[in-house]
Amino acid sequence: MRIALVSEHADPLAAIGGVDAGGQNVYVAALATALGARGHEVVVHTRRWDPAQPARVEVAPGVRVEYVEAGPAAPVPKDELPPYMPEFTARLAARWEADPPDVVHAHFWMSGQAALRAAGNVPVVQTFHALGTVKRRWQGAADTSPPHRVDTERQIGRSADAVLATCRDEVNELRAMGVPERRIVIVPCGVDLGRFRPDGPKGPWPGATGAPGTGAAGAREAGAGMARVLSIGRLVPRKGVDTLVQAMRLLPRAELVIAGGRVDDEEAVRLRELADGYGLAGRVRVVGSVPRDEVPALMRAADALVTVPWYEPFGMVPVEAMACGVPVIASAVGGHLDTVAGCGLLVPPRRPRALARALKDVLADPGRRRAMGAAGARRARQRYGWPRVAERTEAVYTQVIDGRMCRLAALGG
């Protein structure tokens, strides 16, 4: 099968942790690689954002990334990309007219708009990764999305041959948008079970007083019994890391490492100032981006991972921590209701006292931590390995190619 993945802003080869570089980048890279491993020919189309980037990069057997000229060859915030999408669309259409794929899988709403307009008779599968209706609901006036995003997403959802939802909560949102339920399929995000596993090395813990390489237990002893809490991911306000910083005021025997982004990012500075204002400078550290290869060891060095966004379409970080056997405490929103419920703890978003109570209970009970970690690792192995996710995605591609799901109407414009 010849598969085109379209990911206009989320370059699968970009460094993870920036404002616009997170779970979608990881998802697209891992899905492409897993599909290639199943014998398919996969091309990822993403916007050129650096003049030094070559036209194409071979990244794995059967998988390459092709950079599409659209707007300046420089980083552009994703919410400022719409003026350049007509050029992106035209270049896709020219490529596919000359050499059409068997199926197109679009990621994010702008990619969906471009794919539907450029694909001609080639079937289009859509994954939104985040919905404008949900973003607007939670962020209100702070939402920087273009005004037409919500209406465009409705058109895409009603026009694509299939829409992949990553969790049950997203299915409800899509149905409310008028997307025909018969064309919605739940296919979750995945995790690299070879990299994220319970039995790998631990640490070192950033800023810990124990010697590097001693592992979590040795460093913890040297740190006078401090429990270790980890937050990792993109540093943007809706991720709710400030809720965790506030909860740390009620946990005097715990320390927090916040990883992701750059230490001079606006949100990183805000979180550091918040911690300093609460007198937590000695127990809360903002350490910036961690190389992807080092993330599993950092997770395994933690006593608990906390992720409490206001909303979360899926949430790859908690599943990665679960795969490492690390107890997870997450907000009771979006994908967490599928992934964390039953093997971790769910708390209301933006409720620091409720989070502090949950953390205190988990950190005080080693047996409970072990049980939560084991349950999370089992679930990750059973449901979220990338080979399983790729197989389910491939099944949807086969259905749309065979015409068992059919597009109702072409996208206007």
- The CATH number that applies at residue 331 is 3.40.50.2000
Whether 395 and 363 share a structural domain: no
Q: Has residue 358 been placed in a domain? A: yes
Contact status, residue 196 vs residue 320, Cβ threshold 8 Å: yes
Domain coverage including residue 336: 215-383
Domain identity same for 178 and 233 = no
Q: How far is it, in rounded angstroms, from Cα 125 to Cα 132?
A: 18
Residues 150 and 221 in one domain: no
175 shares a domain with 298: no
Whether residue 152 is found in the same domain as residue 167: yes
For the residues 384-408, what does the mean pLDDT come to? 88
Whether 200 is covered by a domain: the verdict is: no
Are both 133 and 230 inside the same structural domain?
A: no
Q: What is the tally of structural domains in the chain?
A: 2
Based on the fold, state whether residues 291 and 158 are members of the same structural domain.
Answer: no
On whether both 368 and 393 belong to a single domain, the answer is no
Task: Tell me what the mean pLDDT of segment 335-344 comes to.
Answer: 97
E-strand ranges in 225-368 read 227-232, 254-259, 284-288, 304-307, 328-331, 345-347
User: Does the global pTM surpass 0.85?
Assistant: yes
pLDDT at residue 21, as a whole number: 54
pLDDT tens profile 63-94: 999 999 999 999 999 999 999 999 999 999 99
Asked whether residue 412 is domain-assigned, the answer is no
* Alpha-carbon separation of residue 103 from 100, 116, 395 (angstroms): 9, 11, 12
Tens-digit pLDDT profile for residues 188-234: 999 999 999 999 999 899 974 333 333 333 334 334 589 999 999 98
Which residues, in sequence order, are CB contacts of 62 under 8 Å at separation 6+? 35, 36, 37, 39, 40, 41, 42
**What local confidence, expressed as pLDDT, does residue 23 receive?**
78
User: Quick one: 166 exposed, middle or buried, by C-beta within 10 A (0-12, 13-18, 19+)?
Assistant: buried
CA 209 remoteness from chain centre = 32
Question: Is the domain of 360 the same as that of 392?
Answer: no
Q: Is residue 161 part of a domain?
A: yes
Specify if 94 maps to a domain.
Answer: yes
Same domain, yes or no, for 241 and 176? Answer: no
| Residue 359 pLDDT greater than 90, yes or no | yes
Give me the mean pLDDT over the 399-411 stretch.
65
408 lies in some domain: no
pLDDT digits (tens, 9 = 90+) for 314-338: 999 999 999 999 999 999 999 999 9
Contact yes or no for 132/384 (Cβ under 8 A)? no
Res. 98: pLDDT tops 50: yes
Give the mean model confidence (pLDDT) for residues 108-122.
97
- Cα 351 to Cα 250: distance, rounded to the nearest angstrom: 13
Is residue 259 a part of any domain in this protein?
yes
Residue 195 is assigned to a structural domain of this protein: no
Query: Residues 149-201: pLDDT tens digits?
Result: 999 999 999 999 999 999 999 999 999 999 999 999 999 999 999 999 999 99
> Is the same domain home to 181 and 254?
no
Q: What percent of the chain has pLDDT over 90?
A: 86
Same domain, 21 and 69: yes
